[in-house]
Structure 1
Amino acid sequence: MKFPIQFLWISLIFLGSLSLSSKDTNQVSAKENRVESILPTTPESGSPWGDSSERLDTIDILNLVDEKNSQKRWQDANKEYATAIDYFESGRKNIEKRREDSKKDIYYEDRYEWQKQIRKENKEKEFQKQIFDLRSQTVARLVKGMNLLDKIENPKVKESSPYLDLKSGIYRDYIKHQEAFKNYLQVIDFTHRYMDLSSKNEAEAEPHRLLALSYEKMEQTAIRSKNQELYYEFKELKKKHLLRFAEIHYGRDSKEYASIEEKVGKDF
């Protein structure tokens, strides 16, 4: 599903007037987050979607640069990408260290357990806000990198491995942060963009795992908005990517694939 249609969904959801039957609503509401119960919670071993992002060396773009500024724009985008990775990783480690150090602090004025609990919760809210701000600033750098790449118009450059690898890397990190923000429409949109970049990207299991999870979240949103048409659309897309994930991750001849296929066949 393409970009303009995906962003039409959000308005359709809140303007939708078709109602689900109470039976359908009750059945599905009682089974929220079902995809999470049968899928791995982290990317597979060796996946480029792991915790550590891939940095790309600044290299010539295969002598394909006919456009004067293509090389510089690629280098500038790569710099933004590397800076975003380093900025987030160092910031996250710093916040985690302060979080651990705070556990050792003793406040003698907190005489009761409820006082200690409130202080602990307030501290955690501070750390969560810091992580949120860190992600937001990291996303801003990633978007800047995307915009630099989008300004490259030379067709040969845009088909080259360095261009596609860099754009893929930026998209991966952007998607990870949007998932952390629970911006599922953004996850869906950019995961499709990621897969459209190359057949190699489409053949990775992780994008399909993320799409299955995100479509389930949108399915639940459609239920709450009483939009029957979108509910069934999201449900079918969820099942499609659930099967594709199982095919790539487990193999079509595996017991795991057969089990997931059976669930999908029962209108999971």
Structure 2
Amino acid sequence: MKFPSLFLSISLIFLGSYSLSSKDNKPSASAETRVESILPTAPESGSPWGDDASKLESISILNLIDEKNSQKRWQDANKEYSTAIDQFELGRKTIEKNREESKKEVFYEDRYEWQKQIRRENKEKEFQKQIFDLRSQTVAKLIKGMNLLDKIENPKVKESAPYLDLKSGIYREYIKHQEAFKNYLQVIDFTERYMELSSKNEAEAEPHRLLALSYEKMEQTALKSKNQELYYEFKELKKKHLLRFAEIHYGRESKEYAGIEEKVGKDF
């Protein structure tokens, strides 16, 4: 995938160290993540960002195009998307089942509590590694789906609902896994791309919640790197998406919106 120049500059800047020039305006290095304390921790009910990802039926789009390979690429991308969803859900359930079963196991050789604790911790590390590997395999399938869609160049197809719906679905799943990996630059990049696909996507609350959280993480990274310019840029972007989330999720006339607007006004 090709990344915008902004993200290349950010990555390069974090390799160096720059000094915050103003002592009076110097932010506190001890500041903790605060966005999580005022936002919901999960997508709203009925959101396409929920745990149950929506799959798309294989449909004909030949009437929209004059490129004979477009339909096959769309169908292949849809297959990668559907397989990624199914395999991750099946794998996740299997890991959860094994985790619950492991809690019932008794090892009589563990006479002391510290021995039992070590065994539990080691077992949990195994499960975390399995989830990590499962996510990595899922991401690989989603990237394959993205690449297949990117090979479709026909303008009519790229503007069609089947194309936009499938690309949106792939992006959503990809973003969820990148958030789990704590790859916040990837979350930001693909959430911005997701919203650019359609006005419907931009009008969803969840992308703005994810962006507010991710920009705050990057804000703290910029602070640790002593980069004043990026610190304030990320802070403004965080506030922008906080307000947009509150507007969509709560409504501009709500007390929740007023509360978040007040925090933003106080340079939250």
Provide the residue aligned with 2:122 in structure 1: 122
Provide the residue aligned with 1:251 in structure 2: 251
Provide the residue aligned with 1:162 in structure 2: 162
Structure having the larger proportion of residues in helix:
1
Cα distance, 1:62 vs. partner?
Answer: 6.1
Contact between 2:20 and 2:228, CA under 8 Å: does it hold in 1? yes
Contact between 2:7 and 2:185, CA under 8 Å: does it hold in 1? yes
Q: Matches of residues 49-128 of structure 1 in structure 2 within 5 Å?
A: 49-61=49-61, 63-128=63-128
Gaps of 5+ in 2: none
Provide the residue aligned with 1:141 in structure 2: 141
Contact between 1:17 and 1:226, CA under 8 Å: does it hold in 2? yes
Q: 2: CA distance between counterparts of 1:161 and 1:11? A: 37
Q: 1: CA distance between counterparts of 2:26 and 2:104? A: 47
SS state at 2:63 partner = coil
Judged with a 3 Å threshold, the aligned counterparts in structure 2 of structure 1 residues 20 and 39 are, in CA distance, closer, same or farther, namely: farther
Contact between 2:219 and 2:231, CA under 8 Å: does it hold in 1? yes
Cα distance, 1:179 vs. partner?
Answer: 0.1
Contact between 1:62 and 1:160, CA under 8 Å: does it hold in 2? no
Gaps of 5+ in 1: none
Provide the residue aligned with 1:204 in structure 2: 204
Judged with a 3 Å threshold, the aligned counterparts in structure 2 of structure 1 residues 81 and 166 are, in CA distance, closer, same or farther, namely: same
- The alignment's TM-score, normalised by the length of structure 2, stands at 0.96
Provide the residue aligned with 1:184 in structure 2: 184
Cα shift readout 1:135-186 (whole Å, capped 9, x = no counterpart): 0000000000000000000000000000000000000000000000000000
SS state at 1:218 partner = helix
Provide the residue aligned with 2:9 in structure 1: 8
Cα distance, 1:12 vs. partner?
Answer: 1.2
- The alignment's TM-score, normalised by the length of structure 1, stands at 0.96
Q: Which amino acid aligns with 2:103?
A: K
Q: Identity of paired residues, percent? A: 78
User: Would you identify which runs of 4 or more consecutive aligned residues in structure 1 move more than 4 Å?
Assistant: 20-26
Q: 1: CA distance between counterparts of 2:4 and 2:77? A: 23
Q: 1: CA distance between counterparts of 2:24 and 2:115? A: 45
Q: 1: CA distance between counterparts of 2:11 and 2:155? A: 33
Q: Which amino acid aligns with 1:250?
A: Y
Contact between 2:62 and 2:71, CA under 8 Å: does it hold in 1? no
Q: 2: CA distance between counterparts of 1:26 and 1:120? A: 41
Cα distance, 1:134 vs. partner?
Answer: 0.1
Cα distance, 1:7 vs. partner?
Answer: 3.0
Cα distance, 1:4 vs. partner?
Answer: 2.0
Provide the residue aligned with 2:45 in structure 1: 45
**Number of positions where the alignment pairs a residue of Structure 1 with one of Structure 2:** 266
Provide the residue aligned with 2:234 in structure 1: 234
Relative CO higher for 1 or 2, CA cutoff 8 Å, sep ≥ 6?
1
Judged with a 3 Å threshold, the aligned counterparts in structure 2 of structure 1 residues 70 and 98 are, in CA distance, closer, same or farther, namely: same
Judged with a 3 Å threshold, the aligned counterparts in structure 2 of structure 1 residues 109 and 190 are, in CA distance, closer, same or farther, namely: same
SS state at 1:109 partner = coil
Q: 1: CA distance between counterparts of 2:223 and 2:21? A: 7
Provide the residue aligned with 2:33 in structure 1: 33
